[in-house]
């Protein structure tokens, strides 16, 4: 108990400091969705005792038939207790959703897959227990010890123990074919974290220096564990490589590690044991619907001792367009959906008008991201002439001045946004006023003058030429049709061509989009600008400097940072300075110092105008059928806050 108290005291101090400094800030308060790490903790806090456990009728029938152990044998000794948002739910039903193409697996991760070691609370303000019932942090911030739930089981009934964390560490993270480069958050002073098993239900992580963001990083959805009892049959530490490669070839793969990746994919492998509320039965890649059934060994209960989840099944129809998703909603074929939906001027009013027909309500989501539409020129362009142009800050300034942001806001975003450049939102301590408004005024004449000074002369067709005399053209690639991006891009095309820059807008499949930008084969792409409120800026700073090959504007610089100089391209000194500042930030436990370092990183990003941004992120909507309950009226979403996961979708239910 003393160890647990030490950890909680340290965490409380860290997060209270962040709260008092304003690091965690939103325009409104959000529900945290109360939970208790055990029935005993629930009783201590409320005076109410959970006297028995109950289960879904279909599971009770299996118990009766002798095909499943009793519920109290399936739950851990200390199941996590979830307090329902509205009321104790009812068992039964199917939660119907849709995903935009086969590559839209983040949808599955948000609704089904968010079961990390530790969790983010629903207000995006603190770390709370998850798979780990408790933890301790050493005074120097270098050692983190996690205590697991005794008796917790995988979906096949096998025990979940420290061995599953050690398998992840020894056999996945330290295997070069499976993990060529470990996540930066696991590295300190160039050395991989040391993970040790204390006993079956306790594991210790030790770094060479303090890791102030380690717990929040874990809480974003990182899973430092894997089912050893199942996956070891596909790993060369337990089976010969020759035999594994033979197995791989029989299933259509060249190498064992390709087979292992598929076997370890919870959306593609129905045989993989999981700890999610629902387990895949019809996997991704088979037909146009991904289906999941209830996990009989799920480790959470409600305040009356009912084993969660309430809902029997989860499905995601794979659709090829947002229009199909909208029509499925209006026709009553979607129960609860927030990803992609209702984010454009055309869709939102239509969805509002059709609420009665579709029998749904529209709830509000505030986005923790700063900007809804960012345009990322490729600063690592493979054409040296284009690269030089794109890396000239004057060129980016000119393109920014050429954009009529007010017109885009009015026509695409319902007038519910504000012109914005590079800064977290107002009201957050990291807000940088100069960066927020830099070059956001509409001044096409000034833009033309800058382009003239750069030496980009016009050809006979009125469009500008490169210094080598070839036509200069920019293709803007878009990998999602949500958020009004195609409409915004067409307007940007008009503005840029008005100042002489030939522009093409190209909407493409997300998998193609991702492959192209990560290989630095693009001219420009559109995505949102993340990193504004809550823990987002500290945990997800890619918008401010390239942290990985997923950084749209400089994937090769990001790859260099991600690989610690082993791959990619070495960035210029000013970008390396940002990287050094962030490394220093990760190595401090002092929230005030973290904020100061992050302010320096943001200032460099804004002053160098790494990308061109349009406007702030308007509130989004959450479409929920009227009989689909326990969904919070107001919520948060972002790249690092995988809504609806932090709201415990296991407690959603369909009211009869």
pLDDT at 27: 43
Residue 566 covered by a domain: yes
Q: Which helix (H) or strand (E) holds 59?
A: helix 57-64
Question: What is the percent of the chain with per-residue pLDDT over 70, rounded to a whole number?
Answer: 94
Domain membership flag for residue 38: no
Is 314 or 5 the better-scoring residue by pLDDT? 314
Phi, psi of 505 (to 5 degrees): -105, 130
Highest mean pLDDT among 101-115, 316-330, 380-394: 380-394
| Residue 387 lies inside a defined structural domain of this protein | yes
Question: Which carries the bigger pLDDT value, residue 431 or residue 365?
Answer: 431
Number of domains making up the chain? 1
Query: Looking at the predicted structure, is the pLDDT value of residue 169 above 90?
Result: yes
273 inside domain: no
The Cα 416–Cα 153 span in angstroms is 47
pLDDT, greater one: 13 or 127? 127
| Residue 513 within a domain | yes
At 121-147, the pLDDT tens digits run 888 778 999 999 999 999 999 999 999
Q: Is the pLDDT of residue 9 over 50?
A: no
pLDDT on residue 4? 39
For residue 356, CA distances in Å to 329, 338, 346, 352 come to 12, 18, 18, 9
- Residue 166 located in a structural domain: no
Q: pLDDT tens, 445-488?
A: 999 999 999 999 999 999 999 999 999 999 999 997 778 899 99
User: Strand runs (DSSP E) across 213-346, as ranges?
Assistant: 278-282, 289-294, 300-302, 313-319, 336-337
8 A C-beta contact, residue 582 and residue 597: yes
Asked, as a colleague might, if the bond just before 63 is cis with ω within 30 of 0, I would say: no
CATH of the domain at 382: 3.10.105.10
Residue with tokens 């991201």: 369
Determine the average pLDDT of the residues in 228-236: 99
pLDDT of amino acid 19? 36
Residue 285 lies in a domain: no
Q: pLDDT category, 67, cuts 50, 70, 90?
A: very high
| Reported confidence tier of residue 321, pLDDT bands at 50, 70, 90 | confident
Q: Would residue 454 count as lying in a domain?
A: yes
Instruction: Give the integer Cα–Cα distance in Å for 457 and 428.
Output: 43
> Which residue range is the domain that position 600 belongs to?
371-613
How far apart (Å, rounded) are the C-alpha atoms in residues 499 and 322? 32
**pLDDT tens sequence across 529-573:** 988 876 788 888 999 999 999 999 999 999 999 988 999 999 999
Please choose, from the candidates 624, 622, 112, the residue with its C-alpha nearest in 3D space to the C-alpha of residue 335: 624
């Amino acid at each position: 108990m003393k160890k647990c108290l030490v950890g909680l005291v340290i965490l409380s101090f860290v997060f209270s400091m962040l709260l008092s400094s304003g690091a965690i800030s939103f325009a409104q308060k959000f529900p945290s969705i109360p939970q208790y790490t055990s029935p005993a903790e629930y009783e201590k806090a409320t005076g109410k005792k959970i006297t028995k456990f109950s289960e879904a009728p279909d599971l009770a029938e299996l118990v009766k038939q002798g095909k499943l152990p009793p519920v109290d044998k399936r739950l851990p000794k200390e199941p996590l207790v979830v307090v329902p948002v509205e009321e104790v739910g009812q068992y039964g039903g199917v939660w119907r959703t849709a995903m935009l193409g086969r590559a839209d697996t983040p949808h599955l991760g948000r609704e089904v897959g968010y079961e990390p070691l530790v969790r983010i609370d629903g207000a995006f303000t603190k770390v709370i227990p998850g798979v780990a019932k408790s933890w301790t942090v050493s005074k120097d911030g270098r050692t983190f010890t996690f205590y697991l739930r005794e008796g917790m089981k995988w979906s096949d009934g096998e025990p979940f123990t420290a061995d599953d964390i050690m398998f992840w560490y020894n056999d996945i993270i330290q295997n070069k074919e499976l993990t060529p480069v470990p996540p930066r958050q696991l590295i300190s002073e160039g050395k991989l974290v040391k993970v040790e098993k204390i006993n079956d239900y306790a594991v210790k992580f030790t770094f060479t220096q303090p890791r102030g963001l380690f717990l929040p990083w874990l809480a974003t959805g990182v899973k430092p564990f894997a089912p050893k009892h199942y996956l070891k049959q596909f790993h060369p530490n337990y089976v010969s490589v020759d035999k594994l490669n033979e197995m791989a070839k029989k299933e259509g793969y060249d190498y064992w590690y390709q087979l292992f990746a598929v076997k370890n994919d919870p959306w593609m492998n129905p045989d993989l044991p999981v700890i999610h509320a629902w387990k895949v039965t019809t996997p991704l890649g088979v037909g146009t619907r991904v289906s999941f059934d209830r996990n009989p060994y799920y480790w959470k209960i409600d305040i009356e001792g009912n084993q969660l989840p309430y809902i029997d099944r989860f499905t995601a129809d794979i659709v090829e367009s947002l229009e199909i998703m909208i029509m499925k909603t209006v026709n009553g074929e979607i129960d609860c959906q927030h990803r992609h939906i209702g984010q454009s001027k055309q869709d939102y009013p239509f969805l509002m008008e059709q609420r009665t027909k579709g029998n749904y309500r529209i709830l509000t989501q505030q986005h923790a991201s700063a900007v809804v539409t960012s345009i990322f020129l490729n600063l690592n362009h493979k054409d040296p002439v284009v690269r030089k142009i794109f890396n000239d800050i004057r060129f980016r300034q000119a393109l920014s001045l050429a954009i009529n942001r007010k017109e885009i806001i009015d026509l695409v975003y319902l007038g519910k946004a504000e012109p914005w450049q590079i800064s977290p939102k107002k009201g957050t301590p990291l807000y940088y006023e100069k960066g927020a408004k830099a070059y956001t005024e509409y001044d096409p004449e000034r833009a033309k003058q800058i382009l003239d000074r750069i030496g980009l002369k016009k050809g006979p067709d009125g469009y500008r030429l490169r210094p080598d005399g070839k036509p200069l053209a920019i293709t803007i690639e878009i990998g999602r049709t949500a958020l009004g991006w195609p409409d915004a891009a067409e307007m940007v095309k008009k503005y840029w061509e008005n100042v002489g820059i030939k522009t093409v807008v190209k909407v493409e499949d997300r998998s193609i989009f991702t492959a192209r930008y990560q290989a630095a084969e693009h001219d420009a792409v559109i995505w949102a600008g993340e990193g504004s409120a809550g823990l987002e800026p500290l945990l997800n700073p890619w918008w401010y400097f390239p942290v990985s090959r997923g950084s749209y504007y400089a994937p090769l610089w990001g790859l260099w940072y991600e690989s610690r100089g082993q791959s990619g391209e070495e960035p210029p000194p000013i970008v390396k300075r940002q990287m050094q500042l962030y490394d220093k930030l990760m190595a401090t436990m002092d929230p005030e110092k973290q904020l100061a370092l992050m302010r320096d990183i943001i200032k460099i990003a804004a002053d160098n105008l790494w990308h061109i941004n349009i406007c702030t992120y308007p509130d989004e909507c959450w479409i929920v059928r009227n009989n689909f309950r326990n969904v919070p009226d107001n919520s948060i979403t972002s790249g690092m806050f995988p809504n609806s996961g932090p709201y415990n979708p296991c407690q959603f239910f369909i009211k009869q």
